[in-house]
Amino acid sequence: MHIHILGICGTFMGGIAVLAKAAGHTVTGCDANVYPPMSTQLRAQGIELIEGFDAAQCDIGADVFIVGNAISRGNPLLEAVLNRGLRYVSGPQWLAENVLDGRWVLAVAGTHGKTTTSSMLAWILQDAGLQPGFLIGGVPENFGVSARLGEAPFFVIEADEYDTAFCDKRSKFVHYRPRTLLLNNLEYDHADIFPDLAAIETQFHHLVRTVPGIGQIIAHAPEAALERVLQRGLWSDLVRFGEGAPWNVTAAANGAARFTHEGEVMGEATLALAGAHNRMNALGALLAARHAGVAVEHGIAALGRFQGVARRLQVRGQVRGVTVQDDFAHHPTAIAATLDAVRDEMRAQGNGGRLIAVFEPRSNTMKLGTMAARLAPSLNGADAVWCYTGGVSWDVAEALAPLGERLRCCAALDALPADVAAFAQANDRIVVMSNGGFGGVHQKLLDALAGGEAAQ
């Protein structure tokens, strides 16, 4: 079958392309901007990419067009597909019907930590010899790819609550029908499509309704929103984790994650990713793997061999004793958790450096200003903050005024790296936070720090 994908360079749709190619289909695709790294990865798979959405692509010979959720009515290719009555389907529906059907799906849902937790879970299953398939919104370092078919029966998927497609405004995850469902957390996000938290809770309730009676839901107990979701209906086995629950994780004296069940220590693992939130991500992954048959002791050992995820507190380089890290944090809760994790790590090292945050409010929710009041408190853990204001219509400087002299707002991205580099000194950490490419600012910072020398 020949599949043509509209919006192929997004992380999710690119993963669909890889899975379809591995399944033996002919795959082509198009996007508004075809550029590395996704374009390089896809072309390496033998997937032809077309720049733009010209209606002439209707004649490419595709049996079905898979339409990404970034594609809206008015798109010339989509309009041509509709006008000519050609066969089309959303990415999540195609995935459900052609990859997930008949498999033991382990879905990881929640506002934060989906990519990291999915990566941890896939690795635990792999380390146990189960050869899982997966589709993850990032690249786990243990695998080097964001998607693979794997061997039946297990398939790990990052279960996103964003809408499915122009023709299907349900959350993507209602298509996946998981047997194991991990619910990490839940708070308000995606202000461009959800009016309030209650609307997101309804989508999570719909997801819970798809879990079979023989399935299991693993929920983070301290989350009030998740508890409200579960009170609306529960038809599967429930395992709670977190503070006050039977399963918990804390930091041991040596900094390792200590996993406990009803107070009994089950084991410890030194994690590649710092912070209390990542310890909790690890516990959720451990319990999901346990439902798939992996012994807790083996899961803990596997977590100690987990290498991390690209763009999740990833060290991009070190120059003149200054470390530059990249993180996907773009929601106030995630920003605060990221900075807390780095601060804890710096305290443990005891080198006296400063924590410098470089932030881009790029997500749709951030661009709408919905989280403006929460942004300054979330960045309060940094010693200095640079905020790129390009593309934002609300007054970022006013919202971040409580940060005082620590704040630098920058409307010109080209000026930012040199400004930060001039401020930085040995032992400092620069944490770059954005859910986009941020104009390649990470390497530009390293180059500015090096003064033309190659980064370490």
CATH domain 314-450 topology = Protein-Tyrosine Phosphatase; Chain A (3.90.190)
pLDDT attached to residue 35? 66
We find that the CATH architecture of domain 2-91 is 3-Layer(aba) Sandwich (3.40)
Query: What ranges do the domains of the chain cover?
Result: 2-91, 102-303, 314-450
pLDDT attached to residue 36? 65
Cβ atoms of 157 and 176 closer than 8 Å:
yes
Whether the domain at 2-91 and the domain at 314-450 fall into the same CATH topology: no
Secondary structure letter of residue 196 according to DSSP = S
Residue 445 pLDDT > 70: yes
pLDDT tens per residue across span 7-50: 999 889 999 999 999 999 999 999 998 766 677 888 888 999 99
Q: Domain 102-303: state its class.
A: alpha beta
CA 304 remoteness from chain centre: 21
pLDDT tens per residue across span 173-211: 999 999 999 999 999 888 788 899 999 999 999 999 999
Strand order in the sheet with 322-327: 314-319, 322-327, 429-433, 355-359, 384-388, 407-410
Q: At what angle do helices 114-127 and 276-291 cross, to 10 degrees?
A: 50
97 CB-near residues (< 8 Å, 6+ apart): 89
Q: Which residue has the higher pLDDT, 414 or 121?
A: 121
